Amino acid sequence: MGEFVKLAFGLGTGVQEARVPKEDLLDVLRANEVPAGLTGEAEVRRALAEPIGSPRLGEIVRPGERIAIITSDITRPMPTWTVMPALLEELYAAGVRAGDITLVFALGSHRPHTQEEMRRLAGERAWNEIACVDSDPADCVHLGVTAAGTPVDITRVVAEADRRICLGNIEYHYFAGYSGGAKAIMPGISTRQAIQCNHSMMVRPEARAGALEGNPIRMDIEEAGAICGIDFILNVVLSEHKEILRAVAGHPVQAHRAGCAFLDRLYRKELSQPADIVLVSQGGAPKDLNLYQTQKALDNARHAVKPGGVIVLIGSCREGLGERVFEEWMTTSPSPQAMIERIGRDFQLGGHKAAAIAMTLEKAEVWLVSELEESFVRSIFLTPQPDVQTALDRAFEKLGPAATVLAMPYGGSTLPKIVGS
C-alpha cells in the first residue's frame, strides 16, 4: 500500500494512534480556522463589557439581592474557574456582597460532586469568597408548567434567588440542538420527572443536533427558562483544547443564538459523502469517563457513516456506563430493537441514551475501544476492540481495502452534515 496518515485520538488521559492509508481517508474533522481574537479570561471580560440584547450585568443587579449563578457539573468542559473572577468583579462593582452570591453546580441527572471536585470547578477565588453548592433535585420549588406539559420544578436556592445568571459552554447537543443558554435551568437544576418530560420529545425528527427553529426540546427548555426567569447568561465556545475562543453574554436567547452561530462557523462540517468506517473519540477525559457521556460522539458519528458501515468508538468509560437507568436498559434489553420499541411507549431518562445507541446500531456496527471488560461490551450489543489500530485493520478486513475512512478526534464537538441531506 502507499502512503499512510498517522492519527491520534484521546482515550481517558492517554492517546491512541492509528495509521490510515492516505487514499482511503476522506477527511479528519477538526475545527475550522476562525479569525484570531481575544481568548480565555480576556475574551470573557470583553463579552461582559459588550452584552447582547441586554444591559450590562452591573446595571441589572442591586446591592442586597441574592444572586444565584448556575454552572455546569464535572461531566461538562465548561471552565467555570476561568470565568468566575471577571463575573465576581462585575457583581462586586455593582455593590453585591460576596455573602449574597451562591454558585450552583447543575447536576441534571448526574451524581453529586466531592468537595475537591467542587473546589476545582469553582476555582480558588470563588471557592474562598462565595457559597458553592450542588443543585438538589429533592428540594425544588414548583414554578409552573410549559405548554408541552413539562413541570418547571427548580432547585430551591435558585428558585428563591432575586437574580439568576446562567453559565455554560455551547456545543452541539444530539436532541436539544445545542447546549448552553437556558439548558442550565432545564435540565440542569430540575427534577428527574421534569427532565424526563422534556427529553421525551427526543424521538421527534425536529429534535436533532444543530437544529434550533422548530426543535420542540429547545423550545421547551427556553419556555422553562422564561418561567423560572433568567436575568443574564455568560456562555463560552471552546477550542478542541478547551480554551475559550468566544464568549457571549446578556439575553438568555439572543446571546445564546450568537454563540450558536459562532459554533457553526467553527464545528459544522459539510461532507460530500458518508464513510464506510468512522473513527470517533470524545477527545479524552473528562468527556469519556463513562458510556453515558461518550454516546454524544457516537451520535454525531451516526450522521457520517454509510448504512452497513462500522463506527469505531474510542472512549475510556472507566467509570462504566455512568447512569443507573441507562445501565438497566443496556444490560437487560433482549435486543437494540427492543430499546427503540420501549422508548416509544415508556420514555425514561437514561433509557433515552440506550435508545439513541440502538438507533445507531440499526444503521451501523459499533466497535468500542475502552477500558471495559470485553464480555461486558458484548453483552450491551457493542463489539470490543483492544486498540484503534486493530479495530481499523479489522474494519478493512470486513469492508474491503477500498473502504473509506472518516476521523472525528473530537466527535462530541464536530457535527458532520452530508451535503444534500
Catalytic residues, which ones? 110, 173
DSSP 3-state of 180: coil
DSSP codes joined into one string, 187-229: TTTB-HHHHHHHHGGGGSTT--TT--TT-HHHHHHHHHHHHH-
Backbone angles phi, psi at 2, to 5 degrees: -85, -135
Q: At what angle do helices 80-93 and 115-122 cross, to 10 degrees?
A: 70
Q: How many CB atoms within 10 Å of residue 206?
A: 15
DSSP 3-state of 144: strand
Q: Is the bond preceding residue 55 a cis peptide, omega within 30 degrees? A: no
Q: How many CB atoms within 10 Å of residue 131?
A: 15
Q: How far does the chain reach from its first CA to its final CA, in angstroms?
A: 33
Helix H, strand E, coil C: the string for 31-84 is CCCCCCCCCHHHHHHHHHHCCECCCCHHHHCCCCCCEEEEEECCCCCCCHHHHH
The Cα 411–Cα 286 span in angstroms is 14
DSSP 3-state of 418: strand
DSSP 3-state of 113: coil
350 near 326, Cβ under 8 Å? yes
The Cα 234–Cα 225 span in angstroms is 14
DSSP codes joined into one string, 335-381: -HHHHHHHHHHS--TTHHHHHHHHHHHTTSEEEEESSS-HHHHHHTT
β-bridge partners, 6 = 19
Burial 49-79 (b: 16+ CB within 10 A, else e): eebbebebbeebbeeebbbbbbbbbbbbbbb
281 near 288, Cβ under 8 Å? yes
